[in-house]
Amino acid sequence: MSSVLVTYYSRTGNTKEMAEHVAKGAEQAGGDVKLASVDRVDASELAGYDAIIVGSPTYYGSMAAEVKELIDKSVQLHGKLTDRVGAAFASSAHVGGGNETTALDLIHAFLIHGMVVPGIHDGDHYGPVSVGEPDSRVRKQCEQLGDRVVELAAKLAQ
Ligand SMILES: Cc1cc2nc3c(=O)[nH]c(=O)nc-3n(C[C@H](O)[C@H](O)[C@H](O)COP(=O)(O)O)c2cc1C
């Protein structure tokens, strides 16, 4: 069974709701899932997961400082997350408000860690993005991401 961390920062609930749907998808796919806001995650524990999925609101086109803090603290594990799965999701207020650049900034960090990032050919390509409150389309994208990550982690474990 793949172990999956779904972690997020959320001030007004949009990213949190996305995270809950990502976790639901991962659980339904058979993952052993921990869902926690970033302030409840110690960077030292990241190496204990087969997959790490991170969500952030868009703040000035990138991730919130609270999320970046966890990413920066993950330097203590540099070289130890190779071939783990990394995936991202993001929320914003506006279409074109930077949700994709936020997801991509997270993905850059995963790639620098040597992690494996699933691209998505038939949905939000870099990870689920929401404008404001997640609607049914976004909720489905989030659940599909959770499912996809568990499947990919299982393949990598073979
Ligand atoms: C400091 C700050 C910066 C923001 N910058 C952007 C931005 O660049 N583009 C955008 O579309 N929304 C921006 N927003 C809006 C949030 O990304 C948006 O409301 C998001 O859904 C909040 O997520 P949450 O409900 O999980 O806290 C910003 C909000 C704050 C507080």
Burial of residue 114 (number of CB atoms within 10 Å: 0-12, 13-18, 19+): middle
Q: What does the alpha-carbon distance between residue 73 and residue 77 come to, in Å, rounded to a whole number?
A: 8
Nearest-atom number in ligand 1 for the CA of 132 is: 21
pLDDT of residue 83: 97
Sort residue 60 into left (φ over 0), alpha (ψ -120 to 50) or beta: left
4 within 8 A of 53, measured Cβ to Cβ? yes
- CB under 8 Å to 132, separation ≥6 — which residues? 14, 91, 93
Distance of CA 33 to the CA centre of its chain: 13
Nearest-atom number in ligand 1 for the CA of 14 is: 25
CA of 102 to the centre of ligand 1 (A): 11
Task: Ligand 1: list residues with CB < 6 Å.
Answer: 10-16, 57-61, 91-94, 97-98, 132
Buried-exposed string 54-88: b where 16+ CB fall within 10 A, e elsewhere:
bbbbbbeebbbebbbebbeebeeeeeebeebbbbb
CA of 58 to the centre of ligand 1 (A): 5
Domains, in order of start, for the chain: 3-153 (3.40.50.360)
This model's pTM is above 0.75: yes
pLDDT of residue 7: 99
**Best of 21, 58, 131 for a ligand 1 pocket test (most atoms within 8 Å of beta carbon):** 58
Q: What is the mean pLDDT of each run of 10 residues along the chain (158 residues)?
A: 97 98 98 98 98 98 98 98 98 98 98 98 97 98 98 95
pLDDT of residue 94: 98
